[in-house]
């Protein structure tokens, strides 16, 4: 597998998965993608349906990181995706599954019901250590980093930015890891109290929290500026865990396969004779063209486009995804694009502070990966468009006619508001006895706009409700469910430093704490 930059620099060079693992941006400021997407066959899908999550992760990741010995990669996926790591499961009173059964599934599918003829479900992705979907990729990334650094004898200083969940997921995945320090930037005063406490209460010597005087996009711009200072990056061994890191994106591809299999569980594929055995059903599925497999749609709450970008990649690999529904909050830069073809980033003053703060993002870093595919993988055009983003604040693909091809990739979108979130939380709790967080509420509200009879709709659940307790109290007039491990979290001592939204200040801070 060879990786290339969306902006074309280094054409002809060979980059393996391990080559790009510890970095983020390519040297030309672009993002890495495979030179071509690996394809899955009907036979592979038929075989993968019954695999454990760890084994499924091994199979999917094997297609992207063929430079890691198979036995090592399998050991890494089995170390990462264990029931005890994803044990923060909530009750499922409707379906009677035990906590142990649900934890063993890693990402259990929580069926809500049938609405407008469409089966509607939540794919639970937040049962990990920090109660957010970011754990699904970050736990793997921590183990991959430790494995690679041990092999090479290197060390790594991770510089990241978070709007709420990436930071805690990264810090919990990297705390205590040999050869790794984490410098995490977050917008001061813009995260929920629970999110803030999760990060700032960590006292590990290799964790450094920096509260930036600004919004998330300011922090993200600083990370990109430091990544583009190649001399500083090399001198201080700077790596990244933000969703621009390819390993994070590819780890997220796995749960689209898992969610698809769960959504069609028990459903025959192809012309299966009545009374056929499980082996016969699998044999028929293995020879049924992927175009004839059942279709499933996914709705993804998304601000930085990393989570839904993984769905795009799964679809490009051949997974029979019908629609990818992008759900935003009031910071609707992505919804505006998928409705009009105009990508218009907002300035800090135009970025709203909302009750789904992890999506308070107005410059979607991973969006460039999709644009690269949309434009037929023409790096010169991508390079010009994202130069326009920096100099003119955006671009318009409707004028060039390129926007007309978006439908071929299955994308649609919608937005929600605070009032819509609150009403959705109330409705789902009343109707299905299920408590959801604010971001998942954005997803469900938008998903309901795109339900189609007979097509399962899977909403990616992104966080547990306790992370946004204030809005849960407003919606339900009760406290959010809190896993026992997090009792008293907000009362713990907090350790962080405050810096201006300035790349020079952050560089000086990193340099003073690395001794380089």
Residues taking part in catalysis:
134
Closest-CA residue to 228 (of 30, 41, 483): 30
Give the C-alpha separation, 106 to 280, whole Å: 28
Tell me the residue length of the chain: 516
Distances (CA, A) of 411 to 248, 394, 405: 21, 20, 10
Give the C-alpha separation, 473 to 296, whole Å: 33
Q: How far is CA 189 from the centre of its chain?
A: 23
Give the C-alpha separation, 428 to 430, whole Å: 5
How big is the CA angle at 256 (ends 371 and 71), to the nearest 5 degrees?
Answer: 105
Residue that has been written with the tokens 């813009």 in this structure: 190
Decide: 327 and 297 in contact? Cβ < 8 Å: no
Residue that has been written with the tokens 């977050």 in this structure: 186
Give the C-alpha separation, 158 to 143, whole Å: 14
Strands 3-5, 32-34: parallel, antiparallel or unpaired by DSSP?
Answer: antiparallel
Strands 296-301, 411-415: parallel, antiparallel or unpaired by DSSP?
Answer: unpaired
Mapped onto helix, strand or coil, the DSSP state of residue 299 is strand
Give the C-alpha separation, 90 to 463, whole Å: 12
| Long-range Cβ contacts of 476-485 (<8 Å, 24+ apart) | 476/425, 476/426, 476/429, 476/435, 480/435, 481/90, 481/435, 483/88, 483/131, 485/88
């Amino acid at each position: 597998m060879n990786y290339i930059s969306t902006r074309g620099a280094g054409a002809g060079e060979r980059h393996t998965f391990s080559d790009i693992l510890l970095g983020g941006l390519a040297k030309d400021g672009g993002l890495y993608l495979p030179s071509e997407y690996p394809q899955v066959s009907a036979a592979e899908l038929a075989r993968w349906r019954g695999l454990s999550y760890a084994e499924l992760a091994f199979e999917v990741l094997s297609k992207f990181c063929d430079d890691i010995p198979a036995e090592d990669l399998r050991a890494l996926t089995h170390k990462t995706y264990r029931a005890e790591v994803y044990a923060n499961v909530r009750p499922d009173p409707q379906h009677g599954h035990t906590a142990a059964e649900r934890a063993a599934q890693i990402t259990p599918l929580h069926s809500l019901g049938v609405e407008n003829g469409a089966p509607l479900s939540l794919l639970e992705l937040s049962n990990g250590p920090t109660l957010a979907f970011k754990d699904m990729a970050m736990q793997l990334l921590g183990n991959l980093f430790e494995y690679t650094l041990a092999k090479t004898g290197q060390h790594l200083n991770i510089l990241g930015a978070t709007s709420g969940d990436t930071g805690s997921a990264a810090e919990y995945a990297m705390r205590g890891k040999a050869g790794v320090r984490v410098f995490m930037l977050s917008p001061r005063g813009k995260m929920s109290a629970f999110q803030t406490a999760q990060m700032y209460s960590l006292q590990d010597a290799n964790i450094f929290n920096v509260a930036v005087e600004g919004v998330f996009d300011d922090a993200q711009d600083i990370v990109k500026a430091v990544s583009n200072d190649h001399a500083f990056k090399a001198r201080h061994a700077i790596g990244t865990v933000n969703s621009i890191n390819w390993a994070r994106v590819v780890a997220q591809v796995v749960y689209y396969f898992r969610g698809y299999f769960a959504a069609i569980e028990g459903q025959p594929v192809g012309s299966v004779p009545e009374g056929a055995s499980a082996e016969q059903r699998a044999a028929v599925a293995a020879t049924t063209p992927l175009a004839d497999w059942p279709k499933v749609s996914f709705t993804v709450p998304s601000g930085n486009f990393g989570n839904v970008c993984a769905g795009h990649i799964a679809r490009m690999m051949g997974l029979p995804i019908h629609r990818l529904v992008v759900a935003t909050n009031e910071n609707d830069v992505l919804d505006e694009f998928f409705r009009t073809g105009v990508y218009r980033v907002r300035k800090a003053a135009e970025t709203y502070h909302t009750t789904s703060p992890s999506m308070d993002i107005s410059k979607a870093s991973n969006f460039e990966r999709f644009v690269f595919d949309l434009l037929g993988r023409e790096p010169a055009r991508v390079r010009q468009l994202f130069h326009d983003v920096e100099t003119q604040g955006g671009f318009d693909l409707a004028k060039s006619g390129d926007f007309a091809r978006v439908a071929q990739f299955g994308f649609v979108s919608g937005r929600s508001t605070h009032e819509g979130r609150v009403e959705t939380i109330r409705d789902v709790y009343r109707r299905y006895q299920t408590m959801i967080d604010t971001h998942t509420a954005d997803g469900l509200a938008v998903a309901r706009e795109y339900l189609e009879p007979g097509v399962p709709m899977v909403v990616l659940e992104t966080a547990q409700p306790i992370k946004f307790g204030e809005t849960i109290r407003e919606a339900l007039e009760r406290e959010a469910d809190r896993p026992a491990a997090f009792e008293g979290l907000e009362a713990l001592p907090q350790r962080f430093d405050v810096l201006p939204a300035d790349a020079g200040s952050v560089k000086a801070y990193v340099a003073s704490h690395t001794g380089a």
